[in-house]
Amino acid sequence: MSTVTPSRAPHSDVPAGPRTDEKRVGGGLFDSKLLVTSLPDAFRKLDPRVMVKSPVMFVVLVGSVLTTVFSFKDPGDWFGWTISAWLWLTVVFANLAEAVAEGRGKAQADTLRRAKADTMARRLDGATEEPVPGTALRVGDLVVCEAGDTVPGDGDVVEGVASVDESAITGESAPVIRESGGDRSAVTGGTKVLSDRIVVKITTKPGETFIDRMINLVEGAARQKTPNEIALNILLASLTIVFLLAVATLPPFADYAGTHLSMVVLVALLVCLIPTTIGALLSAIGIAGMDRLVQRNVLAMSGRAVEAAGDVSTLLLDKTGTITLGNRRAAEFVPVGGASEAELADAAQLSSLADETPEGRSVVVLAKERYGLRERHRGELANAEWITFTAQTRMSGVDVEGRKVRKGAAGSVVAWVKERGGTVAEDAATRADRISEAGGTPLLVAVEDTEGARVLGVVHLKDVVKDGMRERFDELRRMGIRTVMITGDNPLTAKAIAEEAGVDDFLAEATPEDKMALIRTEQAGGKLVAMTGDGTNDAPALAQADVGVAMNTGTSAAKEAGNMVDLDSDPTKLIEIVEIGKQLLITRGALTTFSIANDVAKYFAIIPALFAAVHPGLDKLNIMQLSSPDSAILSAVVFNALVIIALVPLALRGVRYRPVSADRLLRRNLGVYGLGGLIAPFIGIKIIDLIVSLVPGL
């Protein structure tokens, strides 16, 4: 039997699930304090060097300046002043949307900065300790941390074990265990050691720590535009150029027709024709998408990772701790070859005394509770030789009083018995296969004594599929996402769990090489792949995957390889990450549809107003029966500004995600946001026109 990577049970320090705060995520706009603090930033963004990054809004800014200049030439033209005022408000509202989105990140960054206090470190120099500032540490330095100390920088525990308070990073109040070796060695700068003593090897430079990267992320300083966002910006810029050229050709036609179009009217027309709504909200949508991940304690290294999550078509999920509860428990003892249950229970308990895993402890407890055996301890067997479990032997046990007892994987135990010339009962393989087919994990128990080596029976370990997993996978299937369960279990066990959970496929006895091969095969077919991992052996696959989510409890190698880090270390959050990514793409698509659709109503408002006087036939297009040309133009400009501020909550909160196919999603967007974007401006512009017509002088 090939050597496999054993499934890892979830650590006790992993919270049960993600913490969400939908009210806070969606309610940022209506936080009056946040609005007030964001307003100065909105005005600071009027800097042309900042505005030019958004071509659409830069054109509106230039138009605002032009209308203001022409209004100064004719101070008594209240129409010009009013148009100018609303154009400036349009730009400010657009900047305010981005400032509010960034403001929520800055509030989170302030919290992180409080956790990132400058600390003194006890750097090891040979056998002596040297106090140095945390900022003086370099990669490779060894520092000592004891109870009450703050970890001075990101690193890996290379000596000792300690309880660590990570609440400043994860928000979870329960302390976690960090120890040298294994997959729980990584520590984060700013966390606090609660007990014992550890030696930490620094793995990051000052200014590049985990908290530093997170501060940059939530403040938006490190946010780069994603490929889709860049493509949409190019499209919006192209549309702006097209409409700019179209508007530039109107004055000659107007002069030929015997009418005159002022610069104020031309700018108002241009602003209403170009897609200002989505141009104003595009940046806020991207920032809010990453903010929703931060709210769920997920650190994305770039906006590309968030966007890629929305396009994922294959999900690789660990069985243990993700699909199942993870802590397998002994459910029953099944004797074989004529052995009694009591004899099997005694041997199973004895062989498990040196097994500190949850599975091993559950064997001891089952033998005590079901078969009345008192719980023994290693200290009672003074002359015993304990055999600890290793990935190579895949067995544990004890040699005591002339007996040798072993418990472990079926193939390993059978090989051990045959090496000693013993016998394996015919029904051992049958009963082990039956347990595997039922989704359990069989462990064989064998003994060598004066009667020779023989298999006594099978321990049935059960792992329970989490509630609601089948429904979640059904949702993913409706989204067109293929799910693959990754496990170190044998194929029979993997198949049973996969069928019960409802995943599309599974990879059994998975090695790091197997994971890499699977990811590359999927990517070769044009699919984007997402997976989770926490160990150093997961690092190659995390780096290869399009969306690699590393657990915060994992090694530094895993966190460096992935493009996201889950601070809660909850493997099931990968499903939520995909949903957030899709919500980002859906929100962007929905508001783009709305923006383009609502421009149609502005055409019906402005075009008849411009030329109906010289071409009365165009008045038939004035289906809203607007009161006057000036009122029509002003109403369209006012609506154009107000609709931006009205859509900010939707941009920050995101369009509600529903797991449906792409064609149904397109029909929904066209029906809700396309038709809605077409109808809403007709109603809004007409209402504004009725109000404007009541104002004397306008």
User: Would you say residue 396 has pLDDT above 70?
Assistant: yes
Higher pLDDT, 267 or 9: 267
In tens, the pLDDT along 173-196 reads 567 788 877 667 788 887 888 888
Alpha-carbon separation of residue 465 from 439, 440, 462, 572 (angstroms): 10, 11, 10, 12
Instruction: Locate all alpha helices (DSSP H) within 220-340, ordered by sequence.
Output: 227-248, 250-257, 263-273, 276-295, 303-310
Q: Domain of 440?
A: 326-464
Q: What pairs with residue 446 in β-bridges?
A: 406, 455
308 and 423 both lie in a single domain = no
State the angle between helix axes of 573-611 and 250-257 in degrees (0 to 180), rounded to the nearest 10: 30
Residues 162 and 302 in one domain: no
Residue 19 pLDDT greater than 50, yes or no: no
CB neighbour list of residue 271: distance below 8 Å, 6 or more residues apart? 59, 60, 63, 87, 90, 637, 640
Q: What was the pLDDT predicted at 67?
A: 92
In one letter, which amino acid is 597? Answer: A
pLDDT digits (tens, 9 = 90+) for 333-385: 999 988 888 888 888 888 887 776 777 778 888 888 887 766 565 556 667 88
Chain-centre distance for alpha carbon 332: 39
Is residue 7 classed as helix, strand or coil in its secondary structure? coil
Q: Which of 535, 538, 491 is nearest to 512 (CA)?
A: 538
Residue 25, pLDDT > 60, answer: no
Q: Is residue 522 part of a domain?
A: yes
Q: At a CB cut-off of 8 Å and minimum separation 6, what does 145 contact?
A: 122, 151, 152, 162, 187, 193, 197, 198, 199, 200
Token code pair at residue 692:
């404007």
Q: Which is it for strands 547-551 and 529-533: parallel, antiparallel or unpaired?
A: parallel
534 is in an annotated binding site: yes
Is residue 496, in this structure, part of any structural domain at all? no
Q: Six-digit token pair at 674?
A: 């396309």
201 is in an annotated binding site: no
Confirm if 501 and 317 have CB atoms less than 8 A apart.
no
Q: What is the pLDDT, as a whole number, of residue 20?
A: 37
For residue 21, how many other CB atoms are within 10 A of its CB?
10
Question: Is 73 annotated as contributing to ligand binding?
Answer: no
Residue-wise DSSP of 454-486: EEEEEEEEE-PBPTTHHHHHHHHHHTT-EEEEE
Residues 310 and 333 in one domain: no
- Pull the structure tokens for residue 525: 């077919």
Backbone angles phi, psi at 220, to 5 degrees: 85, 0
> What is the CATH classification number for the domain harbouring 180?
2.70.150.10
395 is in an annotated binding site: yes
The tens digit of pLDDT for each residue in 423-437 reads: 888 888 888 888 877
Report the range of poorest mean pLDDT among 11-15, 112-116, 679-683.
11-15
Structure tokens at 52: 């030019």
Length of the chain: 698
Q: Is 475 annotated as a binding residue?
A: no
The predicted pLDDT at position 446 comes to: 92
Question: Is 572 part of any domain?
Answer: no
Please report how the helices 276-295 and 573-611 are oriented relative to each other, as an axis angle in degrees rounded to 10. Answer: 160
2 inside domain? no
- Whole-model pTM? 0.65
- Residue ending a domain, among 217, 248, 283, is 217
> Is residue 258 domain-shared with residue 310, that is, in the same domain?
no
As given in the structure block, the two tokens for residue 473 are 């996978």
**Spatial contact of 291 and 25, defined as CB atoms under 8 Å apart:** yes
Q: Tokens representing 388?
A: 């600890």
Rounded CA gap, 524 and 688, in Å?
A: 55
Angle made by CA atoms 25, 31, 36, in degrees to the nearest 5: 130
Report pLDDT digits (tens) over 627-674.
Answer: 787 888 888 899 989 999 888 888 888 888 777 777 787 888 888 888
Flag whether 520 is in a domain. yes
pLDDT band at 480 (very low <50, low <70, confident <90, very high): confident
Same domain, 199 and 288: no
Q: Please state the rounded mean pLDDT for residues 263-287.
A: 86
Residue 391, marked binder = yes
> How large is the C-alpha radius of gyration of the chain?
33
* Residues 544/276, Cβ–Cβ less than 8 Å: no
- Report yes or no on 640 lying in a domain: yes
Residues 132 and 210 in one domain: yes
Tally of domains within the chain: 4
Any idea which residues carry the catalytic annotation? 318
What is the rounded distance in angstroms from the CA atom of residue 234 to the CA atom of residue 618?
Answer: 34
List the single range of 28-42, 234-248, 404-418, 420-434 with lowest mean pLDDT: 28-42
Within a domain: 114: no
167 against 397, higher pLDDT: 397
pLDDT tens for each residue of 127-144? 788 888 877 888 888 999
Tell me which residue of 334, 434, 353, 464 sits closest to 363, measured CA to CA: 353
DSSP 3-state of 448: strand
> 353 and 437: one domain?
yes
Residue 17: C-alpha distances to residues 99, 296, 392, 502 (Å): 31, 10, 33, 21
Is there a single domain that holds both residue 333 and residue 195? no
Percent of the chain residues topping a pLDDT of 70? 84
* pLDDT bracket for residue 389 (50, 70, 90): confident
- pLDDT band of residue 58 (cuts 50, 70, 90) is very high
- What mean pLDDT is reported for the chain? 80
Whether residue 207 lies inside any domain: the answer is yes
* Residue 88: band (very low, low, confident or very high) from pLDDT cuts 50, 70, 90: very high
Q: What is the pLDDT of residues 227-264, one digit of tens each?
A: 777 888 888 889 889 888 988 888 887 777 777 778 88
Among 109-113, 307-311, 541-545, top mean pLDDT goes to 541-545
Query: Considering 217, 251, 266, which residue would you say is the last residue of a domain?
Result: 217
